[in-house]
Every structure is written in structure tokens, then in C-alpha cells.
Amino acid sequence: MASKVTVTTLLQMKSKKEKIVALTAYDYPFSRLVDESEVDVILIGDSLGMVVQGESSTLPVTMDEMVYHTRIVARGASRAMVVGDMPFMSYQTELSDALFNAGRLLKEAGAAAIKLEGGASVCGLVEAMTRAGIPVMAHIGLTPQSVHQMGGFRVQRDRDRLLEDARQVEAAGAFSVVLEGIPADIAKEITDTLKIPTIGIGAGPDCDGQILVLHDLLGINEGHVPKFVKKYADLAGAAREGLRRYVKEVRGGKFPDKEHCY
């Protein structure tokens, strides 16, 4: 069995200029498939609110739901590093709540690290978690939990602020940072400036790694998909075709046939 990807592996990959491949997953069967494909990092993103639960934003996702999904994903991942996402309001109230909730993702769910959204404003949390032995992946740029504050899911273009956020989360101890929805030239500048790896989503080709939402790239999510998504398969089409044939065969008395009877 290949050795487990760790924080150290990711730092080494950056220094060797090897691209880090990351992907979301939300359940055991897909976790196994993603892990077998040698994806380096599996994020149980709170995007599950939108792609699995059918919500219009990530805001309703609860801490208990994140613990549940992280646990079933962790069970399927033998090589990839498992990162659990901190949902909205699980870390914005009190530091002690944030530490307790982050700890749950490691203790109860088997994650190796957590991710939270925010730059300079969350540095105190990043420091405290890192001190407590909880590795933190930061997330700056388009931060979906701030959808109402941003006035929608908008590309973030304030270069100075983005650079400052990136520098500060690194200084606070984050082991990597997701750059979401920012112009490619700014993402490159941040990537060249930081020692920790940057993982891009809608941030161009020069980040140290890339992440996508699994249901977008496999064509399961047929709702709105952003410009940066590339669809690598059409699982919704394949599922629809299989379901159509099943319905037709049951109605037509063709299933079950002899082969599928005792």
C-alpha cells in the first residue's frame, strides 16, 4: 500500500514542483474511487450542502453533518490525506467552540486536518488550532460562506488584500491555502510568495495544486457549474440511461429473468 499523504508530503511536493491533486468527496464509495485514483487530498467540503443536500448555499450545513460525512469518507481513504471542512458558524463564535469543533473532525471523524474560510480575520484561530496539533488548510478569495457579504459568488480581485490574507494565514501556521475564484496572475504571485502550497479552484494553472468539486467534474451535478469547471465524465447521463432501462424492463415484465431468480 502506498504511504499516506501528510502535511510534510504536501510541503515536499511544493518544493519539488510536483502538482498536488485534490478533490472533494462526501461518501465511502466515492472516497474509495478517488483514493484509488491517487488523488493526494480528499476534502469533505461543505459544498456538500449544495451538491448532495440540494441547498442553494453552504450555509445550512451543520457540524454534525460534517462529522458524519468526514467519517464515512475517511473510512474509504487509505492513501489520500483527509481534510474536513468547518461549516458556517462552527468557528465564528468563540475560540473554544472553534477548537472543540475542529477537534471533533480529527477525534470523531478521522480527518488529518481541517479547512476553514478567511484570511487575516481567522489568524487567531489558525494559530490556536495549530498549537493544539490540528493542521489547518486556509481558504481565501471567494469564500462561499460569505456569499451574502460578497453580494453573490463573485471573483475576488483585490490583489493587496489577497496577498496580505495569504501571508498572514501562512504566518499563523496554516499548512496550505485554498485560493478560490481569483485572477490567475494574482494566484501566481501568491504561490510564488508563499512557502506553503496553494491549492487553486478557479485560480488558474500556476497554483501548487488544484481542487474541484467531485460532482461537478463527474457530471453528477447538472445545475449551474462555474466557468472553471471541466466535466470529465457524464455520470448523470449514465445513471439516467440505467434507470430508464430498469423502469422499462420491470414494466415490460423482462426483469427479473431466470438469471436473476433463485
Which residues contact ligand KIV (rule: CB under 6 A)?
24, 43, 45-47, 85, 139, 178, 180, 201, 211, 213
Please give the single-letter amino acid code of residue 247. Answer: V
Q: Closest residue (Cβ) to ligand KIV?
A: 45
> Which is nearer to ligand KIV, 69 or 188 (by Cβ)?
69
Residue 188, all three cell numbers: 501566481
Residue 130 CB neighbour total at 10 angstroms: 15
Residue 260 CB contacts under 8 Å (≥ 6 apart), including other chains: none
Is-cis flag, bond preceding 256, omega within 30?
Answer: yes
Catalytic residue check, 249: no
Residue 224, all three cell numbers: 449551474
| Terminal Cα-to-Cα distance of the chain (whole angstroms) | 39
> Which is nearer to ligand KIV, 24 or 31 (by Cβ)?
24
Cα atoms in the Cβ-side hemisphere of radius 13 Å centred on 155? 15
> Which is nearer to ligand KIV, 178 or 182 (by Cβ)?
178
| Minimum CB–partner distance for residue 45 and ligand KIV (Å) | 2
> Which is nearer to ligand KIV, 34 or 178 (by Cβ)?
178
| Minimum CB–partner distance for residue 96 and ligand KIV (Å) | 24
Residue 139, all three cell numbers: 481558504
| Minimum CB–partner distance for residue 43 and ligand KIV (Å) | 6
| Minimum CB–partner distance for residue 142 and ligand KIV (Å) | 10
Distance in angstroms (rounded) separating the CA atoms of residues 248 and 21 = 40
Distance in angstroms (rounded) separating the CA atoms of residues 146 and 134 = 24
Of 20, 102, 35, whose CA–CA distance to 75 is shortest? 35
| Minimum CB–partner distance for residue 9 and ligand KIV (Å) | 19
Distance in angstroms (rounded) separating the CA atoms of residues 213 and 198 = 17
Residue 248 CB neighbour total at 10 angstroms: 11
- Out of 180, 222, 241, 249, pick the active-site residue: 180
Distance in angstroms (rounded) separating the CA atoms of residues 157 and 187 = 10
> Which is nearer to ligand KIV, 104 or 139 (by Cβ)?
139
Report, as residue numbers or ranges, the catalytic residues: 180
